[in-house]
Each structure stands twice: as C-alpha cells, then as structure tokens.
Amino acid sequence: MSAILLVEDDVSFSEMLRRFLERHNHAVTLSYTLEDAKTKVKNATFDLVFTDLRLPDGDGIALLNHIKAKDASVPVVLMTGYAEVSSAVKAMKEGAFDYISKPFNPEEVIQVVKNALKEKQETKKPRTPEAPAPQVKPGLAAGFVSGISAASKVLYDHIDLVAPTNMSVLISGESGTGKEVVAKAIHLRSSRKNKPFIAVDCGAIPKEIASSEFFGHKKGSFTGAINDKIGHFEAANGGTLFLDEVGNLSYENQIQLLRALQERRVKPIGSNDEIEVDIRLLTATNEDLVNAVEQGDFREDLYHRLNEFFIKVPNLQERRDDLILYADFFLENANQQLHKTIIGFSPEVLKIFQNYTWPGNLRELSNVIKRATLLTTGDVIQKEVLPPELSVAPSKEGSAHSFSAKSNEKDLIVKVLQEANNNKTKAAKLLNFSRKTLYNKLKEYDLE
C-alpha cells in the first residue's frame, strides 16, 4: 500500500479524492495548506504527493521545490485548472512528475498514480556499472518535445513499443504535425541508432528519376549520368530509410519499391550486380492510403508491406496541453537561430495561442514564433508582433484561418531575407530550408 499526501484546500473535493484513492488501496493523508504540508513531509515519508497549484498560503510549486530539496525521488503531481496550464508547465520544468487538469476522470488519476509510483521504484533501484540506465523519452536534445497531453503519451507508448523491433511503420498525420520527428525518434530508440537515417521526400522526386534516386546508377548508364551515384537504399544500408509522403509515388515506382522490399537487394541502373541491403523502412503520409488503395492509386500489397505497424501523429488541437511546451521549445530555437534573447510570451499572447485552431499544426506554430521573435525588440513577445489572423475569431466556414500557414510562411521568408541582407544561403539556413526549397518557395510566393 502506497502512502500519498493530498494537498487541497477544497475540503469536499479532497474528501472525494481521498475516498477514491483509498478504494484503490492507497493510504491517503490530507493537508489543506502549504505550511501544514511541509510539516507533514518533514515528519513522515510519502511515496507520492498530489498538490493543488493554488493554496491559501502559497502555491504547489513552492511545495514541489521543498519536497525535491528533501528527497528528489518523491514524485509530485500538480492539480490545476485549464487557465493555469502555463504554471503547470513551469512546474514540470522544475521537476514535477506530471499534472492533471480539473475536472479529471478517475481513469486518468489511477494511470498517473501508477506511472508515478513505477518511476519512483525505478529511481530507487540500485544500479551496477553493467545495468542500463532507465530509459528516457526522447527530449529536447533530440529535437523531440516530450509532451504531457494524453494524446502525446499514447504516441510515446507506440514509439517505445515499436522502436526496438524491425517492423515497418506507417506514420500518418496532418501536414505540420512532425511525422519526420517521430520517425527519427523511432530510429534513435532502435538498435540501428548508430547507423544512417536517410530521409527522402517522395513528393519531390520526379517519377522519371525515382529509380536512380532509390537504387543509384552507374556512370554513363543514361544521358546526364556523369558519375556513379549511390541510391537511398544503399546509403541507408544497416540503418533506417524514411520515405515521407509515400502516397505521391507513381504506380511504376510503387512496383519497384515493393520488389526491393521483398528481395532486400537492389540493382543500380546500368549495373549487372545486385547489392544486398539491410534497412528498416519507415514511411509517412498525410493522405488516406486506404482510400487510395480502394481507388486503385496505391498498390494494396505495398500498403500492407509498409503498414506492419501504424502510428497516428495527433494534431496540435489534440495536444492542446502541450502547446506551451512547444512554444517554449520553438522560442529557444528561434533565439539561437536569430541571435536573440527573448525570454517568453506575454499572458495575452499565451491566451491567443490557446484560443487559436492552428490548422498548420507545429510547423505553423514554429513559423509564427520565429516571425514574432524576429520582430520583437523587447524581452517578451507581445500581441502586436503576431500575424493578425491569430486574433481573428474563426467564421463558421473557418475562412479566417484558411491560408494562415501560407501567409505566415511568406511573411517569415520576407523578414528573414531582410535580416540576411538577401543572402539566400544564410536565409535558407535560418529557415531550416535547403537552398532548393527556398528557391521553390520564392517562386511559389512570387518573391523573386
């Protein structure tokens, strides 16, 4: 039976939660103030602390810091209202195990308790030099934000489950949700992590040269083949090949891809020798491949070959609790890329962020924050530097947001080009574009 300290000044709510936890075989001690909770922590040992963010004589973050100074292994879970999510995120950065928003459902409480107690046990296990360290979810160092929403936790569970295997994974999600980041996370948590990760945008490969791109060619094998070329399959040998927007492959290219996957060997154009390849294949699409199969545009046998395991990447609306985490992450990136020192967002900006629908998902959020960082002259991003469409209430048809991602991107490209004195190489680097992508964008937005 685990010992839980529940710190909540709402007497009726705390009694209800106490009875619920006790029915699930937990011993619960109640506290109604910050100072009383500190006294109880001093005089007793607890396996887990649940605390409200707002207390009559302080806040849950102060209690969190007090507990962590005494015993860093004790998990602390914050209980908070929706309007206080930004404070809860701050608490996560300071060492809170998790937070749950009121009102919350019983299953969520039980799952949080289970996860917290499990982590506490793993933290207290003695480690020998040979024992591996506890696994850590991909974090900021890998360019992967460890979100705290329910949708994100399901996503991480799926990544953890499939990454150690050699299964092909089909990653689906709206444009801008971070499908390639998920693929990279799978690769980094697999046994192939020290081998190549080759990402290919299938939508950018003309069908006429797809065979050369995938399988390579020999010098002189066709007009323009002035050198030997290693294809993506050979380049990824031993590692992971990630095919983005796989639904854009022509039917002929689909046949070639299926054959390569079945035989695990490829033949460069103009060569008589086959090359054995050992790759793990990850693919992504924002299209409905099942519908494409039914329409005869995508081969059913290839679809099943790619879809040994399916991962759906949630959109930003489904990860609303992660919004501020992502905003902080993108601000940190923008500061580094633009040589700025912006420290955060005004409360008004955070409210606008939480009320906006984000049709462009994480890519749109990143673009908005980079643009705002570039325009900000003070320490905090204010409403005035945000694109106007973020403050416009959506119409019934949603027309207010229809072109927001595109307009943000165009505006950002113009600002970055100005910042870079029209040096396109520097601008492409700041935008995380290749030069080719930047030139394509300039043409698309008629900026040349």
Q: How far apart are CA 304 and CA 348, in angstroms?
A: 48
Strands (E), 192-338: 197-201, 240-244, 265-266, 275-276, 280-285, 309-312
Domain boundary among 312, 337, 362: 312
Give the residue with greater pLDDT, 86 vs 155. Answer: 155
Residue-wise pLDDT tens digits, 348-386:
898 899 889 999 999 999 999 999 999 999 889 999 999
Q: What is the pLDDT of residue 313?
A: 94
Count CB neighbours of 424 within 10 A: 14
- Report the predicted TM-score, pTM, of the whole model to 2 decimal places: 0.60
Residue 144 covered by a domain: no
One domain for residues 105 and 170:
no
pLDDT for 278 beyond 80: yes
One domain for residues 167 and 291:
yes
One domain for residues 104 and 35:
yes
Q: What is the pLDDT of residue 139?
A: 35
Q: How open is the CA angle 6-9-12, to the nearest 5 degrees?
A: 85
Q: How many angstroms separate the most distant Cα atoms in the chain?
A: 82
Number of domains, the chain: 3
Report the chain's mean pLDDT, rounded to a whole number. Answer: 82
Residue 139 covered by a domain: no
One domain for residues 370 and 401:
yes
Q: How far apart are CA 85 and CA 149, in angstroms?
A: 11
Q: What is the pLDDT of residue 15?
A: 80
135 — pLDDT class (breaks 50, 70, 90): very low
CATH of the domain at 343: 1.10.8.60
By residue range, what is the domain housing residue 393?
A: 320-444
One domain for residues 86 and 223:
no
Q: Among 310, 409, 396, which Cα is nearest to 360's?
A: 409
Residue 392 covered by a domain: yes
One domain for residues 293 and 365:
no
CATH of the domain at 168: 3.40.50.300
For tokens 């060492």, name the residue: 95
One domain for residues 301 and 325:
no
Share of the chain above pLDDT 70, in %: 84
Q: Of the given ranges (53-62, 111-120, 210-219), which has the lowest mean pLDDT? A: 111-120
pLDDT for 180 beyond 80: yes
Residue 390 covered by a domain: yes
Q: How far apart are CA 76 and CA 87, in angstroms?
A: 14
One domain for residues 164 and 89:
no
pLDDT for 127 beyond 60: no
Residue 129 covered by a domain: no
Residue 380 covered by a domain: yes
Domain boundary among 294, 312, 330: 312
Residue 130 covered by a domain: no
pLDDT for 399 beyond 50: no
Residue-wise pLDDT tens digits, 39-93:
999 899 999 998 988 888 888 888 888 988 888 888 998 887 644 556 666 667 6
CATH of the domain at 69: 3.40.50.2300
Per mean pLDDT, which of 193-207, 303-317, 339-353 is the most reliable?
A: 303-317
One domain for residues 303 and 193:
yes
433 — pLDDT class (breaks 50, 70, 90): low
Q: What is the pLDDT of residue 231?
A: 87
Residue 405 covered by a domain: yes
What distance, in Å, lies between the first and last C-alpha atoms of the chain?
A: 69
Residue type, 336: Q
Residue-wise pLDDT tens digits, 226-270:
788 888 999 999 999 999 999 989 888 999 999 999 999 998 888
One domain for residues 350 and 245:
no
One domain for residues 156 and 303:
yes
One domain for residues 46 and 116:
yes
